[in-house]
């Protein structure tokens, strides 16, 4: 399927579950259609429409899980991208969007920009199919078509803003068809503030489904079999080397690294739930954490970053898994000197401001501080949870300002206030820094795509940061060369033909 290809199939013969009539829980005339509203405006209207259409419960849950900050609109990419990415990265999983064509276009584009190499399913709608409940019927038909156990373990349907605001009831889809799990989630921009947190919406829904399956009876083993040692599941997308590195840190404790959540295939969800403890590497996975806790698994915040972070994290993991003290001491003695050495060998001597929307900003900040950087500000678009408390407290004790739900305005104000040697941030922050001739690095592509944990992470940032710092002079030259270009009366309005291009009869 492509975004332009409607899924239109014959209605299933033995369709279990809801129909158009069930979907029309509210008379069509009363459905507050939110068509036309978007993330550029109309959030309040969308929200009240969604509440009136029966989505209050899910919106209330999102408001608790992902409390909003100073801005009530996403300031980065469409949040649904997070859920879409989690679905697309999972093997034998079909992911279908239900939303406005323009939103789906953007989401599909972004997915392929980030190398999805997978089909994005799309069920289109118009005003009529939206208000009559026919859209729900179309989605159901699409789901039946995709529920082929030879190809798929799961089908994920994601309601974007308009279908959520219009109350399209994905909860009325069958929970399973031919053994294929069906998962419907609402991921509106007016309910989920960042794409990071939208990853949690789908990861949490999948863990819940898998937990219920495991509670009902035996489930599939991991492909590679079960670990002989108790495992620690790792929550948060991370650089692949980091998962391997964490495994090495756990080994002397008598533990092994479990699956990374979001997982890459369905059966890994069971293995993730079957752990001794959960490492909340990325602290915003609130719904996922709820499922682990419902399965009786202790969760541990922070991550093994830098010397002090790794020392504290090993201790927390040892506590959660009842590892004897002498074993913990042996593990720390084995690893910490190597981290100290790696940090000392790759120092950073610069004033830095840091911001991003991946949710790992505080961890990066710790490594920077331990590398010697004069870090003044960390802004994260994600909300505050208890799983990053240790990192926040540690950073604040070093004089770093930590801002959760940081807006672009907060990040820019910090850059103006602290005049850093290097600004690490999102695209608009980097853009602004370049205008000011401040060397800058894009967090998502250049910082979060490097190892961060344990000895591999210590010192890995310094290479890219020190290279960027060496550009300062070049930036200053460019700034003086382009001074004034593109602003005020040099903003591109040509009042005369360029010199040398005059032709007979007038200007060319």
Q: Give me the residues that bind ligand SF4 (CB under 6 A), please.
A: 38-39, 74, 78-80, 99-100, 103, 106, 160-161, 188-189
**What is the distance between the alpha carbons of residues 352 and 465, in angstroms, rounded to a whole number?**
10
Q: Which two tokens stand for residue 252?
A: 């002397």
Residue whose CB is less far from ligand SF4, 161 or 279: 161
Residue 46: CB minimum distance to ligand SF4, A: 8
Residue 42: CB minimum distance to ligand SF4, A: 9
Among candidate residues 127, 123, 126, 152, the one with its CA nearest the CA of residue 139 = 123
Residue 235's beta-bridge partner residues? Answer: 261
Residue whose CB is less far from ligand SF4, 101 or 507: 101
| Residue with the shortest CB distance to ligand SF4 | 189
Residue 197: CB minimum distance to ligand SF4, A: 13
Q: Are strands 401-404 and 374-380 parallel, antiparallel or unpaired?
A: parallel
DSSP state of 222: P
- Residue pointed to by tokens 């201790």: 315
Residue 162: CB minimum distance to ligand SF4, A: 7
Residue whose CB is less far from ligand SF4, 161 or 183: 161
Q: Taking the CB of residue 482, how many other CB atoms lie within 10 A of it?
A: 13
Residue 118: CB minimum distance to ligand SF4, A: 19
**What is the distance between the alpha carbons of residues 148 and 178, in angstroms, rounded to a whole number?**
7
Residue 325: CB minimum distance to ligand SF4, A: 50
Contact partners, residue 301, CB within 8 Å, separation at least 6 = 280, 283, 316, 386, 387, 388, 389, 390, 391
Do 416 and 467 meet the contact criterion of CB atoms below 8 Å apart? no
Residue whose CB is less far from ligand SF4, 109 or 482: 109
Helices 361-370 and 460-469 cross at an angle (nearest 10°) of 80
Q: DSSP letters of 444-477?
A: IIIITTS--SHHHHTTHHHHHHHHHHTTHHHHHH
Among candidate residues 477, 178, 455, the one with its CA nearest the CA of residue 336 = 455
Residue 195: CB minimum distance to ligand SF4, A: 9
**What is the distance between the alpha carbons of residues 140 and 22, in angstroms, rounded to a whole number?**
12
Residue 78: CB minimum distance to ligand SF4, A: 3
CA–CA distances in Å: residue 275 to residues 51, 74, 442: 38, 34, 35
Residue 484: CB minimum distance to ligand SF4, A: 36
């Amino acid at each position: 399927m492509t975004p332009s290809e409607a899924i239109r199939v014959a209605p299933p013969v033995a369709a279990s579950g809801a129909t158009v009539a069930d979907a029309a829980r509210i008379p069509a005339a009363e459905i507050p259609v939110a068509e036309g509203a978007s993330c550029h405006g109309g959030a309040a209207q969308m929200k009240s429409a969604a509440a009136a259409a029966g989505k209050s419960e899910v919106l209330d849950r999102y408001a608790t899980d992902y409390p909003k900050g100073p801005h009530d609109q996403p300031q980065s990419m469409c949040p649904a991208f997070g859920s879409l990415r989690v679905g697309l990265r999972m093997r034998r999983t079909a992911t279908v969007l239900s939303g406005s064509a323009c939103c789906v276009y953007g989401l599909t584009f972004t997915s392929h920009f980030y190398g999805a190499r997978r089909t994005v399913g799309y069920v289109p709608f118009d005003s009529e199919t939206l208000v009559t409940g026919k859209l729900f019927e179309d989605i159901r038909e699409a789901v039946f078509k995709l529920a082929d156990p030879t190809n798929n373990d799961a089908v994920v349907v994601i309601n974007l803003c308009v279908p959520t605001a219009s109350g399209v009831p994905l909860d009325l889809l069958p929970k399973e068809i031919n053994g294929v799990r069906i998962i419907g989630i609402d991921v509106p921009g007016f309910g989920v503030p960042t794409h990071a947190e939208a990853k949690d919406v789908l990861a949490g829904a999948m863990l819940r489904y898998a937990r219920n399956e495991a509670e009902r009876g035996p489930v599939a083993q991991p492909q590679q079999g079960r670990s002989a040692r108790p495992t620690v599941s790792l929550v948060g997308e991370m650089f692949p080397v980091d998962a391997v590195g964490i495994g090495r840190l756990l080994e002397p404790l008598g533990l092994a690294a479990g699956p990374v959540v979001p997982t890459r295939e369905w059966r890994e969800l069971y293995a993730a739930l079957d752990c001794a403890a959960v490492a909340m590497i990325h602290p915003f996975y609130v719904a996922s954490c709820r499922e682990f806790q419902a399965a009786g698994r202790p969760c541990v915040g922070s991550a093994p970053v830098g010397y002090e972070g790794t020392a504290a994290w090993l201790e927390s993991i040892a506590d959660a898994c009842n590892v004897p003290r002498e074993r913990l001491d042996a593990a720390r003695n084995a690893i910490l000197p190597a981290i100290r050495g790696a940090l000392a060998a790759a120092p950073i001597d610069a004033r830095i401001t840091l911001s991003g929307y991946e949710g790992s900003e505080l961890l990066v900040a710790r490594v920077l501080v331990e590398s010697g950087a004069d870090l003044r500000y960390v802004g994260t678009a994600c909300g505050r949870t208890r799983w990053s408390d240790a990192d926040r407290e540690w950073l604040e004790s070093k004089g770093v300002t930590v801002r959760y739900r940081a807006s672009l305005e907060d990040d820019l104000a910090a850059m103006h206030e602290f005049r850093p040697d290097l600004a690490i941030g999102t695209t608009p922050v980097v853009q602004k820094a370049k205008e000011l001739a401040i060397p800058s690095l894009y967090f998502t592509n250049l910082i979060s795509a490097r190892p961060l944990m344990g000895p591999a992470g210590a010192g890995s940032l310094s290479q890219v940061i020190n290279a960027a710092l060496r550009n300062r002079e070049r930036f200053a030259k460019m700034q003086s060369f382009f001074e004034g270009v593109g602003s005020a009366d040099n903003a591109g309005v040509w009042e005369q033909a360029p010199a040398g291009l005059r032709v007979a009869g007038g200007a060319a």
